[in-house]
A and B are shown apart, each in its own frame.
Chain A
Amino acid sequence: MTRRTAFKLALAGAAATMARPAAAAVPLGAPADAVGLLYDTTKCIGCKACMVACREANGLAPDTGQSGGLHLMPVDLNEKTKTVIKLYRDGDKSSFVKAQCMHCVDPACASACMLGAFKKREFGIVTYDVNFCIGCRYCEVACPYGVPKFEWSKAAPKMVKCELCNHRLAVGKQPACTEVCPRQAVIFGRREDLLREARARLVASPDKYVQKIYGETDGGGTQCLYISHVPFDKIGLPALATDSTPSLQRTIQHSIYKGFAAPVALYGLLGVVMLRNRRSAGDAS
């Protein structure tokens, strides 16, 4: 075998590994202790009590920019806002929708994060630890829901996102947003219980709801679930495959770098080829 063909073979091998289909990804289930939220568009009246409670519970400065400094009025999740109520209008149909971290079963932010500042921990909550955050913002590129936000205006910025009030859960309380919701439009519970509750509501009022629980399998599943009287894409929830968002990348990357064997082999091959080249050059002179 000539050096040239050896190298070509190595490249072809690398290409073949890359071409392996994504089906090799093992689907991840939600952890057994997974908790989350269930939001029901038909119950929300848009009072925004959850936003105020969230701000207080998480020590966030009020975002009053849009209102000329008068009252809390963020247009979206941002560096001061971990949950927001938005209004979607489609003809004569309208709906409120609450945005916050979805606490994915297989979170893209955690898969992307270099030092694991974003990590799925107890109860499946996706938490953030600033000590291991470099501020690269790859999590923002990764999150299909646009949840993690960066403190653009600060010299020492952090990432900001809902951590399901895990500091309150630790002392036996529920998240601030579910505690204050006057209509129980958003409720807190174990993911399994929430799925059961959602299914019961869909069955009880088949005409009222789109017959789907968003987050059951979308993007590999989320721990915050939605049921709605308007199509989900209208309320800003993207159509995602049932494969989790990071699965394709992970499959490709792990196929190439499995056990770091391919890079080590390639390194050895490169070294051997170069040694032979040098020896043949030495013979010639």
Chain B
Amino acid sequence: MTVMPQAVGGRILTRPFRALAALFGIGAMLILYRLATGLGQVTAMNDGYPWGLWIAFDVVTGTALACGGYSVALLVYILNKGKYHTLVRPAILTSALGYTLAGIGVGLDVGRWWSVWRVPVFIWRWNLDSVLLEVALCIMAYTLVLWIELSPAFLEKAEQVGSPAVIRLASRAKPIVEKVLLWIIALGILLPTMHQSSLGALMLIAGPRLHPLWNTGWLPLLFLLSCLAMGYAAIVFEAVLSSWLFRSVPERRMLAELGQAMVPLAVAYAGLRLYDLAMRGQIGALFALDLYSVMALLEFALMMVGAFILLSDARRARLDHLFRAAMLFMLAGSLYRFDTYLVAFRPGAHWAYFPSVTELLVTVGLISGEIMLYIVIVKVFPILTLEKRHVAYHH
């Protein structure tokens, strides 16, 4: 018997939801203020640190944390592990939301936001040397791909509850989507492979201003390996969390196996980094115990502790350990990205940057909006495959 994804159901306007809405409201107002006045009034960015929290977190870290859709698609469609299929929809949903948030983040961060449309349209102006152009086009395309990948969930819902016209439309659209879906999913694997590695290549242009612990030609591959590890971690994190929140029985065996798969990724990432540091004679810098060395050691430590937890069968069988390890992986990968984009970037001693309160509130507001959308979508549309622990309590 196949288990189909179902809408979780239940009340939407819960108290936590209203709190999120308030945070989103504050963020939205600040966003309007920023669009009307410019970046200097809302953010702490400056000519030394032209990229701040919005790029380093909302875009670079956010899309890496949203690599669940990419990682699980690789697993299910390329490595042919069909049993993980129940994880696909929730992973694609978080990815779609994460990438959409990143897109909004970029839209706010660019100074001339009203001209963003020119990037995909002005083909004759494309500078093929620009890594950022590749990243921008790839992320735009992938965001679209993710929502198409998710569209069957919306069409299924429309078939159930829509008016006759909507039902007719949905049942006509569904076979079309199903026919092209394979090639869309293939794009959904190709595009993140391209832009997640290019997000690493992006900072190479900073040259000697990027600290040697991070400045390496291997940045693209390191970013790719770590985003895959983060992707699997995000799936485990999300599965455990939604089983707690929606009181369902989680797929323990499956999550334990995912946890096992995260270990070689962590080892490959850490191994390649150490090998590269050794080749470039930078092992000394790693143990210099200055700010840079401490941050890099922390990145290693977080991922290694996570991998250590996942080494034992007994610990992988326990949800709390899995959850902890997943968090450590997500933290390690996030810190690696923060460091590459902010800490390791050294524009000169007379420059400093720490995000302003308003800048932080915009990010908090956007994340709140993302969580709100997630809650609404899983409650209304068939995304999660949950086995209820108790008798369904909201109906």
CB contacts under 8 Å to B, within A184-238, are 238
CB contacts under 8 Å to B, within A33-51, are none
Residue-by-residue, is A2-38 near B (CB-CB < 8 Å gives 1, otherwise 0)? 0110010000001100110010000000000000000
A235 to chain B, nearest CB (A): 13
Q: Are B112 and A15 in contact (CB under 8 A)?
A: no
Q: Are A157 and B48 in contact (CB under 8 A)?
A: no
Cα–Cα, bound, A253→B122 (Å): 21
Residue-by-residue, is A101-124 near B (CB-CB < 8 Å gives 1, otherwise 0)? 000000010111111100000000
Closest 8 CB pairs of A and B: A135-B111, A152-B40, A140-B50, A137-B50, A135-B112, A249-B204, A157-B111, A270-B186
Q: Are A253 and B78 in contact (CB under 8 A)?
A: no
Cα–Cα, bound, A235→B201 (Å): 30
Cα–Cα, bound, A142→B131 (Å): 11
Q: Are B129 and A270 in contact (CB under 8 A)?
A: no
Q: Are B218 and A18 in contact (CB under 8 A)?
A: yes
Cα–Cα, bound, A51→B111 (Å): 27
**Chain A interface residue count, Cβ-Cβ cutoff 8 angstroms:** 66
Q: Are A140 and B119 in contact (CB under 8 A)?
A: no
A241 to chain B, nearest CB (A): 8
Select which of A112, A113, A146, A271 is within 8 A of B186 by beta carbon: A271
A22-B217, A144-B208 known; A150-B111 Cβ under 8 A: yes
Cα–Cα, bound, A19→B222 (Å): 12
Q: Are A151 and B47 in contact (CB under 8 A)?
A: no
A136 contacts B by Cβ under 8 Å: yes
Interface 9-mer from A63-71, A91-99, A166-174, A276-284: A276-284
**Total A-B residue pairs with C-beta atoms closer than 8 Å?**
182
Provide the residues of chain A in CB contact with B209, threshold 8 Å.
144
Cα–Cα, bound, A274→B189 (Å): 11
Q: Which residue of A lies closest to B347 (CB)?
A: A146
Q: Are B77 and A246 in contact (CB under 8 A)?
A: no
Cα–Cα, bound, A207→B186 (Å): 66
Provide the residues of chain B in CB contact with A77, threshold 8 Å.
47
Cα–Cα, bound, A151→B110 (Å): 12
Cα–Cα, bound, A252→B220 (Å): 9
The prevalent SS among residues of B at the interface is: helix
A250 to chain B, nearest CB (A): 6
Provide the residues of chain B in CB contact with A273, threshold 8 Å.
77-78
Cα–Cα, bound, A156→B114 (Å): 9
Cα–Cα, bound, A76→B46 (Å): 13
Q: Are B40 and A153 in contact (CB under 8 A)?
A: yes
Provide the residues of chain A in CB contact with B129, threshold 8 Å.
110-112, 246, 250, 253
Q: With a 10 A CB-CB cut-off, give which of B41, B113, B217 has the most chain A CB atoms.
A: B217
**Chain B interface residue count, Cβ-Cβ cutoff 8 angstroms:** 66
A60 contacts B by Cβ under 8 Å: no
B348 contacts A by Cβ under 8 Å: yes
Provide the residues of chain B in CB contact with A250, threshold 8 Å.
129
Q: Are B50 and A151 in contact (CB under 8 A)?
A: no
Q: Are A253 and B198 in contact (CB under 8 A)?
A: yes
CB contacts under 8 Å to A, within B108-125, are 109-113, 115-116, 118-119, 122, 125
A146-B347, A270-B78, A274-B78 known; A249-B38 Cβ under 8 A: no
Provide the residues of chain B in CB contact with A87, threshold 8 Å.
none
Q: Are B186 and A278 in contact (CB under 8 A)?
A: no
Select which of B118, B185, B207, B217 is within 8 A of A245 by beta carbon: B207
Provide the residues of chain B in CB contact with A152, threshold 8 Å.
38-40, 45-47
A111-B130, A156-B112 known; A132-B217 Cβ under 8 A: no
Q: Are A240 and B207 in contact (CB under 8 A)?
A: yes
Q: Are A149 and B221 in contact (CB under 8 A)?
A: no
Cross-chain pairs A/B with CB under 8 angstroms, 13 sampled: A22-B217, A112-B130, A113-B130, A114-B132, A134-B111, A136-B110, A138-B130, A140-B50, A150-B50, A154-B40, A155-B38, A266-B193, A274-B182
A141-B203, A151-B111 known; A271-B183 Cβ under 8 A: yes
Residue-by-residue, is A236-274 near B (CB-CB < 8 Å gives 1, otherwise 0)? 001111000110111011001100000100110011011
Provide the residues of chain A in CB contact with B202, threshold 8 Å.
138
Q: Are A248 and B204 in contact (CB under 8 A)?
A: yes
CB contacts under 8 Å to A, within B123-153, are 125-127, 129-134, 136
A133 contacts B by Cβ under 8 Å: yes
Residue-by-residue, is B18-50 near A (CB-CB < 8 Å gives 1, otherwise 0)? 000000000000000001111111000111101
Provide the residues of chain B in CB contact with A146, threshold 8 Å.
47-48, 347-348
Cα–Cα, bound, A281→B80 (Å): 9
Q: Are B205 and A111 in contact (CB under 8 A)?
A: yes
Q: Which residue of B lies closest to A75 (CB)?
A: B350
Provide the residues of chain A in CB contact with B45, threshold 8 Å.
152
B348 to chain A, nearest CB (A): 7
Provide the residues of chain A in CB contact with B35, threshold 8 Å.
155
Q: Are B186 and A252 in contact (CB under 8 A)?
A: no
A100 contacts B by Cβ under 8 Å: no
B190 contacts A by Cβ under 8 Å: yes
Cα–Cα, bound, A239→B220 (Å): 25
